[in-house]
C-alpha cells in the first residue's frame, strides 16, 4: 500500500484490456473503458502516481523497524566488544542461530566474507553501533570506499602537519 499527497481517483484495470473508473457525475456509477489507447493512458497515469507515492507505514510497522534498528546496533556493539555468540545472543534475547543470522546480514550489507573483514570495514566507516539510522546510512561504506568523515580527518591531519612545518621554519 502506498500513499500520495494528492488526490487520485480509483481505477481498476483488467490485463490491460479494460479499465473501470467512476463516472464523472456520481461515484455510484462506473464507466468501463475498452479503448486500448485510453486504457494504456490510464495505466500510465496510475503507474506514475504509484512511483511518486510513498509506502504507507502504520505505527506498528514503525515500531518493528525501530526494534530491528536497535537489534542491529546491539549486534554491532556485541561484535565490537568481542563477546562470544552465545553471550551476545543471550543479551539480545534471541537464539544463537538467530544472532548468527544478524551477523550474516551485517556481513552481506558490508560485503564481507569473514568477521575480520566485517570489523575492518565497519572500523574504517567509523561504525560503533551507537549511530542513529540516518548517520549509519551516511557513513556506510560497502565496497571499501572512504567516507566524508575519513576525508575530513585526513584533511585535518594534513593541515595540522603543514602548520607544524611552517612553525618549525
Q: Can you tell me the distance from the alpha carbon of 125 to that of 165, in angstroms, rounded to the nearest whole number?
A: 30
Q: Per mean pLDDT, which range of 15-19, 52-56, 108-112, 165-169 is the poorest?
A: 165-169
Q: Can you tell me the distance from the alpha carbon of 1 to that of 50, in angstroms, rounded to the nearest whole number?
A: 10
Query: Could you read off the pLDDT of 67-124 as tens digits, one per residue?
Result: 788 888 888 988 888 888 898 888 888 899 999 999 999 999 899 999 889 988 888 8
Q: Can you tell me the distance from the alpha carbon of 129 to that of 75, in angstroms, rounded to the nearest whole number?
A: 8
Q: How many C-beta atoms surround the C-beta of residue 122 within 10 A? A: 22
Q: How many C-beta atoms surround the C-beta of residue 125 within 10 A? A: 22
Interhelix angle 59-81/96-109, nearest 10 degrees: 90
- Of residues 38 and 50, the one with the higher pLDDT is 38
Between β-strands 54-55 and 2-3, what pairing exists: parallel, antiparallel or unpaired?
antiparallel
Q: Give the per-residue pLDDT at 56.
A: 73
Q: Give the per-residue pLDDT at 16.
A: 67
- Look at residue 27 and tell me whether its pLDDT is greater than 80: no
SS3 12: strand
Chain-centroid distance of CA 2 in Å reads 17
The dihedral over CA atoms of 21, 23, 26, 30, expressed in degrees to the nearest 10, equals -60
Domains observed in the chain: 2-55 (no CATH), 59-144 (1.10.10)
Residue 165, Cβ density class (10 Å: 0-12 exposed, 13-18 middle, ≥19 buried): exposed
- Look at residue 160 and tell me whether its pLDDT is greater than 50: no
Q: Element (H or E) spanning 19, and its range?
A: strand 18-22
Q: Give the per-residue pLDDT at 163.
A: 39
Q: How many C-beta atoms surround the C-beta of residue 50 within 10 A? A: 11
pTM for this structure? Answer: 0.44
* Strands of 18-22's sheet in order across: 12-14, 18-22, 30-33
Amino acid at each position: 500500500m502506498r500513499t500520495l499527497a494528492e488526490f487520485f481517483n480509483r481505477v481498476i484495470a483488467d490485463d490491460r484490456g479494460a479499465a473501470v473508473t467512476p463516472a464523472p457525475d456520481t461515484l455510484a456509477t462506473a464507466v468501463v473503458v475498452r479503448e486500448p489507447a485510453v486504457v494504456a493512458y490510464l495505466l500510465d497515469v496510475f503507474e506514475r502516481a504509484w512511483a511518486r507515492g510513498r509506502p504507507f507505514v502504520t505505527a506498528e510497522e514503525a515500531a518493528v523497524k525501530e526494534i530491528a534498528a536497535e537489534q542491529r546496533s546491539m549486534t554491532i556493539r556485541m561484535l565490537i566488544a568481542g563477546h562470544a555468540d552465545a553471550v551476545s545472543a543471550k543479551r539480545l534475547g534471541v537464539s544463537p542461530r538467530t544472532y548468527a543470522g544478524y551477523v550474516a546480514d551485517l556481513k552481506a550489507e558490508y560485503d564481507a566474507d569473514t568477521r575480520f573483514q566485517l570489523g575492518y570495514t565497519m572500523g574504517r566507516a567509523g561504525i560503533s553501533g551507537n549511530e542513529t539510522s540516518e548517520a549509519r546510512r551516511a557513513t556506510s561504506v560497502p565496497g571499501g570506499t572512504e567516507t566524508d568523515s575519513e576525508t575530513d580527518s585526513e584533511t585535518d591531519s594534513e593541515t595540522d602537519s603543514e602548520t607544524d612545518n611552517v612553525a618549525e621554519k
